Amino acid sequence: MAARNCLVANDWVCWEYVRSRSQELTDATLQHVVITVTAVLIGVLLAFPLALLARRGRHFAAPVLGLTTLLYTIPSLAMFSLLLPLFGLSAAMALVITGLVLYSLTILVRNTIAGLDAVPEEVREAARGMGYGPARLLWQVELPLALPALFAGVRIATVSTVALTTVGAIVGQGGLGNLIEPAVRSSFKAQVLTASVLCVVLALVADLLLLGLQRVLTPWTRASSAVGADKGA
């Protein structure tokens, strides 16, 4: 009796597909990672000065928060379609990354503002009393204390970007989305499931890595948690 071929049977779970398409899966995964990391890093670099601008007063906060919120409400397909005339298909990677950066801004800007605003005023006053100027106060006092909120924003933005990257398949730069989109149209079950599972794994791994980095950079939060646990006991 001939062995059953899961590819011919079009099964959802098919290790033969994973084995035979391993290079294709690896390439799509690496592209997904590159797009996600690039978009999130650029988003962080843009969100920080925007958050500082928004903190300067209501006249700045309203347009910054309003614009970033408006961008977030645009459907992903519409966003990439609107950017297409600006970039063209020849710069599809830049188009996708730009769209993802715009989506990340509302999360990153709001969390950055929330983190900086959560710094106790008495801490700021103590730093000023020790001769800290505005720049030194920001970088050495406010920013370190705001790191938990900042990382929360980066984690949310990263997971969201992993998911949204798949939409870039409409211009051929969607990472694992390049495998999901044609497989859905052709009902290729193994490819749909495998690529989708890899997206989920990427999101989980990215979130865990960022959580680990947060714990390394904010050791005082672990100490506070331990003290709280001891008091509760």
pLDDT band at 2 (very low <50, low <70, confident <90, very high): very low
- Beta-carbon contacts of 73 under 8 Å, excluding residues fewer than 6 positions away, are none
Name, of 85-99, 172-186, 192-206, the range with top average pLDDT.
192-206
pLDDT band at 96 (very low <50, low <70, confident <90, very high): very high
Name the pTM for this structure. 0.87
- Beta-carbon contacts of 68 under 8 Å, excluding residues fewer than 6 positions away, are 50, 105, 106, 109, 110
Domains and CATH numbers, the chain: 16-220 (1.10.3720.10)
Neighbours of 176 (CB within 10 A): 25
pLDDT band at 60 (very low <50, low <70, confident <90, very high): confident
What is the Cα–Cα distance from 47 to 53, expressed in whole angstroms?
A: 10
Mean pLDDT of 48-55: 90
What is the Cα–Cα distance from 164 to 214, expressed in whole angstroms?
A: 24
pLDDT at 229: 47
What is the Cα–Cα distance from 150 to 158, expressed in whole angstroms?
A: 12
What is the Cα–Cα distance from 108 to 25, expressed in whole angstroms?
A: 30
Question: Mean of the per-residue pLDDT values for the chain?
Answer: 87
Tens digit of pLDDT for each residue in 205-215?
999 999 999 98
What is the Cα–Cα distance from 86 to 125, expressed in whole angstroms?
A: 47
pLDDT at 1: 39
Tens digit of pLDDT for each residue in 221-230?
665 554 454 5
CB-neighbour burial class of residue 178 (10 A; exposed 0-12, middle 13-18, buried 19+): buried
Tens digit of pLDDT for each residue in 188-203?
889 999 999 999 999 9
More confident call, 150 vs 230: 150
Tens digit of pLDDT for each residue in 156-172?
999 999 999 999 888 88
In percent, the amount of the chain with pLDDT more than 70 equals 92
What is the Cα–Cα distance from 191 to 180, expressed in whole angstroms?
A: 7
69 has pLDDT over 60: yes
Both tokens of residue 24? 């294709």
- Beta-carbon contacts of 113 under 8 Å, excluding residues fewer than 6 positions away, are 51, 54, 55
Angle (CA) 83 47 130, round 5°: 165
More confident call, 12 vs 223: 12
Expressed in percent and rounded to 5, the helix, strand and coil fractions of the chain are: 85, 0, 15
